Amino acid sequence: MPITPQHLQYVLRLADTALILGQRNTEWSGHGPILEEDIALSNMSLDLIGQARLLYTHAAALEQQLTGKQRTEDDYAYFRTEREFANYTLVELPHYGPLAGTAQTEKDYAVTIVRNFLYSTLMAHLWSALANSTDEQLAAIAAKSIKETTYHVHHAGEWLIRFGDGTDESHRRAQAALDYLMPYTREFFSADAVEDVIAAAGIGPRTSELETAWLEDVRATLDEATLTLPEAVRHVSTGKHGEHSEHMGFVLAEMQSLARQHPGATW
């Protein structure tokens, strides 16, 4: 199978999104609302970072074939700039919503749960499609990731129902988180030249082809949670094109600082 720049970009897009969400969710380690959730979020973060590592290793092999340049997973994670990352904007947002007064506001678990639900529901469909990819390595990564993502969907969905159909306060916070985050999901399904090439080569689907099934799953859970799907917006975020929110630089600063202070170090 001939390697194209779009093939490499697509794999990096998947890897970057998994890595940044994994990094965000690790912020609950040692700070979870209850011990069980502390452990659950840490384990799911490890799942996401593990997926990112597999994808970065695959990206390195693709890039070597494409350009002859040798890269490692650490090169991709720690030594690229903000504009070089291609993750969805949704995953880089902090754990608090628009009602927060300052950057020091306490994290809101409803925001974390809603984000994990929206993203993992998408990935359950996308990994299933990628399991049939003409890229055999990507198909193998997808087959492994489906099992992990199925649990992520279950975990987030169960908590979303508890929040939405719980107390007045938990319902309010879950609805506020949904209203805040749902507009960012438009980026999932926005068409671009990368996905056109990927679809033509049989490597993966256009994500827009998954939108109907994704929305059906989202609606079913929201109905059970007595939450209301927000009205659609027109704006489309652009993280997958390297144009990020103001929050991305802070995520990278924390994640990359040690590696950049000691380049070439191993541990």
Neighbours of 211 (CB within 10 A): 16
pLDDT tens by residue, 148-185: 999 999 999 999 999 999 999 999 999 999 999 999 99
- Domain membership flag for residue 15: yes
Stretch 99-107: mean pLDDT: 63
- Domain membership flag for residue 22: yes
In DSSP notation, 155-199 reads: HHHHHHHHHHTS-HHHHHHHHHHHHHHGGGGGGGG---HHHHHHH
Stretch 106-113: mean pLDDT: 92
- Domain membership flag for residue 102: no
Stretch 70-80: mean pLDDT: 96
**Structure confidence at residue 32 (pLDDT):** 74
- Domain membership flag for residue 267: no
Q: How would residue 38 be classed by pLDDT, with cut points 50, 70 and 90?
A: confident
Quote the domain boundaries for residue 213. 5-96+107-261
- Domain membership flag for residue 58: yes
Query: CA dihedral in degrees (88, 16, 60, 139; nearest 10)?
Result: -70
Q: How many domains does the chain have?
A: 1
- Domain membership flag for residue 266: no
**Structure confidence at residue 99 (pLDDT):** 57
**CA angle in degrees (0–180, nearest 5) for 117-123-127:** 155
CA–CA distance, 134 with 116 (Å, rounded to integer)? 28
- Domain membership flag for residue 160: yes
- The CATH number given to whatever domain includes residue 131 is 1.20.1260.10
- Domain membership flag for residue 137: yes
